[in-house]
Amino acid sequence: MSPKKTHSQTLPEHIVLSLFVAFRFLIGDSTALKFMEVSGRNVLRSFSALIFAAPLYVLIQWLQFRGPDFDLSGFLLIFGFFAGYAIAWIMFAYAIFYAWSIIGPRHNYLVFMPLYNWGRIFFMIIMLPYFVLGSFSVIAGTAAVMVWWISLGLGLSYKFYITRKALGASVFHGILFVLFDVLLVFFVMALFMQAFGLPGIPL
């Protein structure tokens, strides 16, 4: 279902409605797209989702790095990683804009990008239980690997569903765009990890 033309939304309305639509997509209801405003301004506003994503990102990284030696410098490092994560968000938006303008109607991008940005918050919420359980040693070994893959599978399926329904992408392009998003985040974060001289790549 395509979103209907709505009145110009205020920023608080945009935030509330976008979170609502992203949640409805989480439970498989794509009819909620009718609440989305279709405009370039709405695409730009959707990057305010970074403000809401920041606490979740910091929490997830803290769960991975926490320990007796973790101090203020650790939080500064995490905020540095978040800057890289934010850059990956913006790079993805630009890349998909130019790619989709070649293979599909540009109007669909105005629907897709805001929802995808807000959907990233729910992706992090899906992944959060794994990091909580792992950080406090509730799960380990094979169980941890299974929970990781189940969580990741659910999260990526959610992104794929948004891409299929909101962007109108084919199965092939939907898979391609979601995988590109994952690889882009890993690439940008790898550069940041290299810059800080640290091993591994945070989420």
Give the model confidence (pLDDT) of 16-59 as tens digits.
Answer: 999 999 999 999 999 999 999 889 999 999 999 999 999 999 99
* 1, part of any domain: no
* pLDDT at res. 31: 93
Considering the domain boundaries, does residue 142 fall inside one?
A: yes
- For residue 5, being part of any structural domain is answered with no
Question: Residue 190's pLDDT is what?
Answer: 82
In sequence order, which residues have a C-beta less than 8 Å from that of residue 45 and are 6 or more positions away?
11, 14, 114
Total domains in the fold of the chain: 1
Domain for residue 127, yes or no? yes
Give the separation between CA 79 and CA 85, rounded to whole angstroms: 10
Q: Is residue 43 part of a domain?
A: yes
pLDDT of residue 203: 52
DSSP 8-state class, residue 105: -
Q: How large is the angle between the packed helices 141-162 and 11-26, nearest 10 degrees?
A: 120
Confidence at residue 3, expressed as pLDDT on a 0 to 100 scale:
56
Q: Does the residue 3 lie in any domain?
A: no
Q: Which ranges of the chain have pLDDT less than 50?
A: 1
The answer to the question of residue 68 being in a domain is yes
The verdict on residue 203 lying in a domain is no
- Helix spans in 46-170 (H): 49-65, 72-103, 106-135, 141-162
Query: For 77-87, what is each residue's pLDDT tens digit?
Result: 888 888 889 99
Total-model pTM: 0.89
> Of 182, 160, 152, which Cα lies nearest the Cα of 112?
160
- Distance, in Å, from the CA atom of 171 to the CA atom of 198, rounded to the nearest integer, reads 37
- Token pair in block for residue 175: 């898979």
User: In terms of residue numbers, what domain contains 146?
Assistant: 11-196
